[in-house]
Chains A and B, each alone.
Chain A
């Protein structure tokens, strides 16, 4: 049973750097496991902390936020502002007893397709090590 569990992970990523980097991994045919689904936003600055928390409330096993490197943001500083907010997510997770390593923010540029594959592998392995989300189990128990 444990072997069959496939983690459900969502990646909310910026259009200019990480989405382009993920496309770059495709162009280079860099292979990685298919467990992360992608939602594209123009900038990580768009990401409301509530989006991340809603994903966890929906039973996400992991959430990845990925944007441009500091100093490289297409909109000057959206990634700085996102990063500041994402610390808040980690702190909320710790306070509510949810393993904070389920959430991760990374910085992958448009040319870093290889790094994107490393990040995806890393995120999946971390989530697999932690195991299924307790919220997902609770949702199931309550028949949600």
Chain B
């Protein structure tokens, strides 16, 4: 944000008697309906230094902002207090209004009388009014002591980083690279593609997932603007918007890329993806990418379309027999002694796109997942029905390899579940893919019956409702009710017991196969990455956006943005849309070339500093250091660009020698005194 405020007392540093203007917002009836705004306005006039007090329906509107503007000019204000919603929403708005009136924007203070006032004391008119008066008094006390501050402009590194290379991360990286920003794309798996690459077809258009994703994967892999690192994870993060130093751990792959081989002087060497190594490898392991339904070797690629097409050694399984080295021959791509590699890159902005995993549905034991052979999860179904999957697209049931002639689909398997075992939220895309699954079994297996056990069908997207009608007409049976229990019969068929809430009677249906539309949850790595970047999460652990409606791609950590399901369940169209939004948001600081940091940094008052140095260890950002000043005394000094303004040093200094701008000790003590000791004239 760019402010253009002038000094309050231009032309001289003589102390000016504070002149404060107070503006009480009604927020329609949000505030005025629950407390006496007129009484608060009149009360404000009794406070020391308050020269004008007004109330208005919507202070954030243009007329409201003009009232601030006009009062600053007419009444020569030195400080502005707006009692309204929360500074987390409208502090920037009113700072701009203050600056437009000719005052330094940091001479604005907000009293929160809505989010922490009228909204939480809706039925306590007197109590709410008293609290609002106190909030105004506390804010006025601070406003009388505010000073002119100037944001510090710092340059922004012309590079970005995207963590997670599913469809969200791929789209974001491609957009950034096309906008001329070199982008590091970090993926923990050996290949990019994420969950979408595991899907067969996509609703409602039924185009094959790989067909639309593979070209993007290939393009991302060869775009010069994208620096792709697979089998890599974020190790540590330092810095701030514009200047993040991110350390990446590249796990040992055991196989050299052609570039790496060339760097080692192996002419014409490096992995070409021929697969000779995998053929001779004697170690067989379950392919986790196929959910264990297919084998893979200790040296492997997850599937045919991987990007980059470089084999990977599973060092947990490898017996280091060396057969692969022999098979690789003159390419000399295999290095069985490769070790993890750490390197640090500097980037201006970061986008997190760490995706999702399925909730462990075996915890809902009544459905028998992992207990009964023929109860599978929706992602396992995707692999079984996919032409590139372990059964080449022939849907079979796990117990005997037979083609199922009836399939039960259990929706909300762990979603919308308030028992404490599942997830309380809607996973949003399960309804639609279950409709697609029903379509696929009806289409692929003539005579196969599809039963969908559902709570509600949420077909909210473009052309989704039409798809729902289509599946109804194709003959899928819809039973509205939650499945209470699944029992395995001696022939390995399954008895699905549910209540049909539309008929008001229990139903029992025997099926050959059950597919559980599992709830989704953030990946385990999301929690690690979020803490490294200092991003908050909501109660259900999805990453928290800066504002649910007005800033859905941003986070409260400046310079860090969100894309895709890591922010909350969403389908592919929404994921790609958010990815493009995040790319756009993340490119703004980079293309601006500089960002302004809030001037909340610490300062050392050298006259009070005893030089004990205890503050240095308090700073999490190494922003403090000890120097010898001009008088020959050892004192602390702050590197302002490193300081993030937490104030931990200022809260600790036993001599009171550290001044935290905008949160000085005199300002905070004035707020405390104003509450307890009154302040009426």
Which A residues are closer than 8 A to B by beta carbons? 8, 10, 12, 15-17, 19-20, 22-23, 25-27, 29-35, 37-43, 45-48, 50-51, 54-55, 58-60, 71-78, 81-82, 85, 109-112, 117
Contact = CB atoms under 8 A, between A and B. Distances in A.
Contact of A46 (B120, B534, B650): B650
Given A8-B676, A37-B131, A76-B534, A45 B119 contact: no
Contact of A23 (B88, B531, B651, B665): B88
Interface stretch (B96-104, B110-118, B170-178): B110-118
A42 B557 contact: no
Interface string B640-681: 000011111011100000001001010011011101110000
A20 B88 contact: yes
Nearest to B598: A42
A111 B135 contact: no
Nearest to B538: A111
A33 B122 CA distance: 10
A37 B138 CA distance: 9
Nearest to B30: A26
When A and B form their complex, which 8 residue pairs have the shortest distance between CB atoms, in order from nearest?
Answer: A46-B647, A45-B648, A26-B115, A75-B646, A58-B676, A26-B119, A43-B646, A34-B127
Nearest to A30: B120
Nearest to B89: A23
24 contacts: A8-B676, A16-B536, A19-B86, A20-B556, A23-B112, A25-B115, A26-B114, A32-B120, A33-B121, A35-B127, A38-B112, A39-B138, A42-B645, A45-B646, A45-B651, A58-B676, A74-B536, A77-B620, A77-B648, A78-B620, A82-B648, A85-B651, A109-B539, A110-B538
A74 B115 CA distance: 22
B539 A51 contact: no
A39 B648 CA distance: 16
A80 to B, nearest CB: 9
Nearest to A110: B536
Contacts of B556: 16, 20, 74, 110
Contacts, number: 164
A134 to B, nearest CB: 15
Nearest to A22: B116
B646 A48 contact: no
Given A26-B119, A71-B531, 19 more contacts: A27-B119, A33-B127, A34-B121, A34-B128, A37-B675, A38-B135, A42-B647, A46-B651, A46-B660, A46-B663, A48-B651, A51-B668, A55-B676, A60-B676, A75-B621, A75-B644, A82-B648, A109-B537, A110-B536
B134 A37 contact: yes
A72 B531 contact: yes
Contacts of A39: 138, 668, 671-672, 675
